[in-house]
Amino acid sequence: MKKIFTLLGLVSTSLADESISALLEKYEQAGRLEYKTVQEGEGHVILFSKEDLERMQAYTLKDVLKTIKFYHVYSDRYGRYLFNYSLLFSQNVTTVRLFINDHEVSAVSTRTPFSIWDNIPLDNIDHIEIYLGESAIKFGNEYASVLIKLYTKDPSKENVIYTRISKDLKSGYGFSIYDAREVRSNLSYMLMFNISKFDRKSFDSLSRDAQIHYGYLHIDYSNLHLEASYISKDSDIFLGSALDNRLDDGNFEGNHKYISLTTRLLEDKSLKLTVSFDEIKTYTYEKDQNGLLSCIPNPSIIFQTAKVKTLENSSNIFIQKEYTFDNNKLLISGIYKNRRYELKKEGILINTIPLYTKGKADEEYFSLLMQGESKINKNIFFVAGIRYDNYQRPSNFEDIQGFMIKGEFVHKLPKNIYYKIFGGSFFVPTAFIEVANNPNLQVQKNKFITVELEKKYKKSDIILAVGHTSIKDGIYFNPWTLKFQNLQEELSFTFYSIYAKLKISKTGKILLDIFKIDPNKDILPFSSKEGAGLHVFEKIGKFDTYIGIIYRDGYLFDNIEIDDGIDLTVAVKYRLNDKINIGIKGENLLNKALKVPYVGISQIDTYPSIDRKIYITLVSSF
């Protein structure tokens, strides 16, 4: 993974009389997908290149997300991996946007991708861009506190049949196969399938095992990009909403399918048009003799059995026009989404009387964005953007509308020193599930400013960052009342980070990040306030190695002491030849990954989110 400041500067324009090997090296660099996709003006970008993902043996999204500073990956009551700001322990993360290329995958009702996509396989992914902060507004996304973009490999540059078989030391496995190739000069395709079983550690009878089936099709015909995908997930649901934290029985089944068409029109390809459709189905079954708390329809009802079916669909249009002048760019874009959400719930009360709840809601969302980028001179660059969002909802829900404003200023000083200032004012729309649970919930309003100072050396790079965020009407899930609520008081916090990258050889590097979050009030002791990550990548002969240590500090949760978390991952890959490699990876080897508290009616239980696991993997490409 690496922080990039300017990619364009890496490719020299002087090509005359260069050796053939030097030209090929530059050709490879210039052909890399991230040169075309990374948007420096959209905030603090963390990039995981293809080589990083291969060396980390990162085959699912969680493997990457757990390394991100300021954030933590945790397993929620339903056994799903969620990704959220380190201070927060939300049951419904609505502000993280996950994209596969240009298509966002998030549920309509919960506004989160993680209920189904938390274990998406990464075999066909070229690189991952993670935009921290709230500046990313131009990708056709709604509000994002963090935006994750998974870019698939360019099939015209693959020309391969790839297979991967991974096995852990229990009954978990992963199998992926894809065929990606150029058929002729303007036609290429990728077709991928994956089946995975995640055999996670059980605690007594509490299981969070999951199985997924995933299919992905990608066709590039001239400048038309067609993408279709299907993922289904079948999982145990761990604690579910059992009052006693001991669920008797439960199961989750869900699937999400989408199709997306993108093209770039006009001679200079400056007009981008995307049309897409999504359909998401879920079925959740829970049973507990001691009762289940229910968010819907009324938090006070206690069921013994609950069966919930949801059907969601969304039709989306995104249009974007870019005007380029000498040193300036103007971007205008519009989004329209038409969504429907249906819910059917059968709850059996303690006295065995079934209670049926049905609900249906439509939402229309449209958004207009204008963003300018200007290079005042070769050392000064700034971005300013404004976006209007409007959510039209059924009469029993409040419509939402408002503006988001952002700005970024980059100044290059002598001696390879840069400073960047980001800032903005945003609002976080409520999700259906939140307002159904609490109709009086207000939208959350955020403001932030971040200053970064970067010094580049020949073989290293150091970035110091400090920022401040204030949150008004913060939405949070109260684990004691099982209600979504607005914080009565304004929450603000200051955050600090140090990032260092050191190139230790032609093929090796060390990355270090340290962060600290300092809230103005000690009102959210839900997770760590400090953390660090150390990552070493090296290639030794035919061995690719990666060592990663992720530290998160312990904390006190309602008088429960949560110990410091240390997650040590070691991955070694041996290349038998150009086509076959064998890898072994150990995750949470010290068995000290951070534990997460789960609130029951009479006790709080703590369990680690990341299991101690060993994986063996065989990858072939023909």
Partner 1 sequence: MNRHIIFVFLFVLNICNNIVKAEPLRSEQEIKIEVKILEKISVDIVKKNPVKVYVIGYNKNYLKKYAKKLLVVENCNEADIIIAKENNEQLKNTCKKKIPGIALNYLLLKENPNFIGALFWYKGRPNLVFISFRLEKFKIKLPKSYGRYIEEKIW
Q: Contact residues for partner 1 (CB under 8 A)?
A: 11, 13, 15, 18-21, 23-24, 26-28, 30-31, 35-36, 50, 126, 153-154, 156-160, 182, 184-186, 188, 220-224, 261, 263-266, 269, 273, 275, 277, 315, 317, 338, 621
Task: Using DSSP, state whether 34 is helix, strand or coil.
Answer: helix
CB nearer partner 1, residue 8 or residue 350: 8
For tokens 């078989």, name the residue.
165
Nearest residue (CB) to partner 1, 289 versus 324: 324
Pairing, β 604-608 against β 354-377: unpaired
**Distance of alpha carbon 331 from alpha carbon 385, whole angstroms:** 9
| CA atoms of 139 and 102, how far apart (whole Å) | 7
Task: Give the type of residue at 11.
Answer: V
CB of 48 to partner 1, least distance (A): 14
Judged by CB, which is closer to partner 1: 268, or 558?
268
Identify any residues that bridge with 334 across adjacent strands, giving them in sequence order: 319, 368
Neighbours of 115 (CB within 10 A): 25
Which residues neighbour 307 within 8 Å (Cβ) at sequence distance 6 or greater?
283, 284, 285, 345, 346, 347
Main-chain dihedrals φ then ψ at residue 19, nearest 5 degrees: -70, 160
Nearer to partner 1, 14 or 352 (CB): 14
Nearer to partner 1, 182 or 530 (CB): 182
Q: What's the closest the beta carbon of residue 160 comes to partner 1, in angstroms?
A: 6
Sequence-distant (6+) residues with CB within 8 A of 474 are 444, 486, 487, 491
- Among 293, 304, 302, which Cα is nearest to 248's? 304
H/E stretch holding 229: strand 224-235
Q: Least separation, in Å, of the C-beta of 54 and partner 1?
A: 10
Nearer to partner 1, 272 or 613 (CB): 272
Amino acid found at 334 = G
* 92 close to 110: Cβ distance less than 8 angstroms: yes
Least distance between partner 1 and beta carbon 19 (Å)? 6
- Residue 24 CB, shortest distance to partner 1, in Å, is 6
Nearer to partner 1, 226 or 589 (CB): 226
* DSSP state letter for 138: S
Residues 403-433 as b or e (16 or more Cβ within 10 Å = b): ebebbbbbebeeeeebebebbbbbbbbbbbb
Supply the DSSP symbol for 470.
Answer: E
Toward partner 1, which CB reaches closer, 162 or 557? 162
Instruction: Kindly state the smallest distance separating residue 605's Cβ from partner 1, in Å.
Output: 45
Structure-block tokens of residue 559: 């008088």
Q: Smallest distance, Å, CB 534 to partner 1?
A: 28
Q: Would you state the structure tokens that stand for residue 270, as one six-digit string?
A: 């400056």
Alpha-carbon distance of 170 to 326, in angstroms, equals 59
Phi/psi at 84 (5° precision): -150, 170
Of 193 and 277, nearer to partner 1 (C-beta) is 277
Give the nearer residue to partner 1 in terms of CB position, either 273 or 453: 273
Q: How far is the CB of 544 from partner 1 (least distance, A)?
A: 14
CB nearer to partner 1: give 187 or 466.
187
Q: At closest approach, how far in Å is the CB of 531 from partner 1?
A: 32
Compute CA distances 464 → 434, 499, 511, whole Å: 37, 7, 14
Are the C-beta atoms of residues 239 and 227 closer than 8 Å to each other? no
- Taking the CB of residue 267, how many other CB atoms lie within 10 A of it? 5
Supply the minimum distance, in Å, between the C-beta of residue 131 and partner 1: 21
- Mark residue 473 as left, alpha or beta (left: phi above 0; alpha: psi -120 to 50; beta: remaining): left
Closest contact distance (angstroms) between CB of 495 and partner 1 is 35
Q: Cβ(455)–Cβ(314) under 8 Å?
A: no
The least CB distance from residue 424 to partner 1, in Å, is 29
Q: For 26-159, list the strands marked E by DSSP.
A: 44-48, 71-75, 81-85, 96-100, 103-104, 125-132, 146-152
The nearest distance, CB 84 to partner 1, in angstroms, is 32
Pairwise CA distance, residues 235 & 150, whole Å: 24
Q: Residue 469: is it exposed, middle or buried by C-beta count within 10 angstroms (0-12/13-18/19+)?
A: buried
Which residue's CB is nearer to partner 1, number 11 or number 350? 11
Residue (31 or 439) nearer to partner 1, CB:
31
Name the residue nearer to partner 1 (CB basis): 33 or 349.
33
Contacts for 310 with CB less than 8 Å, ≥ 6 apart = 109, 280, 281, 282, 341, 342, 343, 344
Say how far apart CA 461 and CA 483 lie, in whole Å: 45
CB of 47 to partner 1, least distance (A): 15
* CB 108 to partner 1: min, Å: 15
Q: Which is nearer to partner 1, 242 or 331 (CB)?
A: 331
Q: What does DSSP assign to residue 469?
A: E
CA distance 53 to 63: 9
